[in-house]
Amino acid sequence: MNTTPPRAARAGGFTLIELLIVISIMALATAGVSFALRDNQQVQLEREAQRLAALLETARARSRASGVAVQWSLTEQGFQFTGLPKDSLPSQWLSPGTTITRSDLLLTLGPEPVIGPQQVTLVRPDAPGRQLRIATDGLRPFGVQADAP
């Protein structure tokens, strides 16, 4: 005869491994949501500055290639490149509210291979004290530099 009592039914509940897996999945989902949230104003200003530097360099290269003088200036809707075909480059900011410190600024982008030192400073009203400068010394490409507030 077998004298050992029958095994007790397994107690209900979750194992430690199951709980750790659920917590890990929740942590990954939370991280994904946080990356999907809107950018703050500092990141938006940096994105605008990088984009403008790339656009200025594109217009500068097209001016040198075509031999036609190209200028950049601010408009009420955004900015414009004169000397290039209409709508060949974007003419609006990515996020509304972005502007420059001097509204009368005019950048000359070519057609000469060497241009004078030029700069434009971007600001946003919702990021007070934060401004980014896009500048060139005339030889190097336009680059983004943070200004001290």
Domain that holds residue 118: 41-146
Q: What CATH number corresponds to the domain at position 117?
A: 3.55.40.10
Domain contains 51: yes
Could you tell me what percent of the chain has a pLDDT over 90?
A: 56
Please state which of the ranges 32-36, 47-51, 144-148 shows the lowest mean pLDDT. 144-148
Going by pLDDT thresholds of 50, 70 and 90, the confidence category of residue 39 is low
Domain contains 114: yes
pTM for this structure? Answer: 0.72
Residue 37 has pLDDT above 90, yes or no: no
- Structure-token match 């430690």, residue found: 16
* Angle formed at CA 124 by CA 121 and CA 128, multiple of 5 degrees: 100
